[in-house]
Amino acid sequence: DAKTTQPNSMESNEEEPVHLPCNHSTISGTDYIHWYRQLPSQGPEYVIHGLTSNVNNRMASLAIAEDRKSSTLILHRATLRDAAVYYCILNYGGSQGNLIFGKGTKLSVKP
Amino acid sequence: KAGVTQTPRYLIKTRGQQVTLSCSPISGHRSVSWYQQTPGQGLQFLFEYFSETQRNKGNFPGRFSGRQFSNSRSEMNVSTLELGDSALYLCASSGLGRALANEQYFGPGTRLTVT
C-alpha cells in the first residue's frame, strides 16, 4: 500500500494560516491525494482531494508538488473548531473505498 | 440529505458471543466501507461493498464479515468475540462508484465493548 508521512503534531494560533505537510514519495500516477480530519469523538470528515493540480474548496486548499511526492493542506484561518487529527491518504484510482489511514497529524489551535 | 447512520451506537458483549452492526448510507450512495478504530492501531480498513459485492478487503480474520443489501444498507458481523475486538466501528458511504475520485462520508460509529 502506498504510504504517507506526516508530523505527529502541530500547533497553530487562532486566525492564523496553517500548513500541514505530507510526504508520499512512492505515489503512483493513479493515486489521488485525500485529506480527512477527525474531530474528538466524531467519525472522520472529508476535507479535500486532488490528483495533480492545486485544489481549493470552502474548507481548505491543497497544494501538490510538481513531482507529486509531497502535498500541503492549507487552512487559511485556523479556528478552535479546526483542532483535530488530520490524515493524508493516497487512494488508488481515487474511487476505491479502502482508505488506508496513517497516524495523522494532531493539530492544536491556541486562542 | 440525511447522513450516514449506524446502529446501535453503543454495545457491550461478552467474549465468545457474536455481534451484528448496521449501517445505512446516504441516500443514493452505493459504496459502503467499514473501519475499525482502536487507540493502539488507529483506523484500519475492514472491507468495502459496492452494489452488494465485496470490492475490497482489509487484513482481518475471517471472524469479521459483512454484507450489503439491495438498498445499499450494510451489516457487519463479528463472531466469537475477543477482548481485542473492543473498538469504535465506523461505516462510510460514497456515491460515485468506480469512475471518479470521491469522498467518503462517515457515520458516528458503533462503540463495541467486549468483556
Q: In what order do the strands lie in the sheet with A105-110?
A: A9-13, A105-110, A84-92, A31-38, A45-50
A44–B97 C-beta distance less than 8 A = no
Q: Mean pLDDT, chain A, as a whole number?
A: 91
pLDDT digits (tens, 9 = 90+) for B57-95: 889 999 999 999 999 999 999 999 999 999 999 999 987
The total of other beta-carbon atoms located within 10 Å of residue A48's CB is 21
Provide the shortest C-alpha distance from residue A17 to chain B (in Å): 24
Local confidence band at B99 (pLDDT 50, 70, 90 cut-offs): very low
* pLDDT number for residue A29: 85
Find the radius of gyration of the CA atoms of chain B: 13
Secondary structure letter of residue A81 according to DSSP: G
- Give the chain A residue nearest B110 (alpha carbons): A43
Provide the shortest C-alpha distance from residue A16 to chain B (in Å): 27
The answer to whether B12 faces chain A, any CB pair under 8 Å, is: no
- Cell reading at A17: 494560516
Is the confidence at residue B97, as pLDDT, over 60?
A: no
The answer to whether B2 faces chain A, any CB pair under 8 Å, is: no
**Sequence-ordered list of residues with C-beta below 8 angstroms from that of B80, at least 6 positions apart, any chain:** B16, B18, B63
- Chain A CB contacts of B107 under 8 Å are 43
- Give the chain A residue nearest B95 (alpha carbons): A95
The number of angstroms, rounded, from the C-alpha of B29 to the middle of its chain's C-alpha atoms is 15
pLDDT digits (tens, 9 = 90+) for B11-27: 999 999 999 999 999 99
- Give the chain B residue nearest A34 (alpha carbons): B103
Mean pLDDT check: name the lowest of A43-52, A75-84, A97-106, B11-20: A97-106
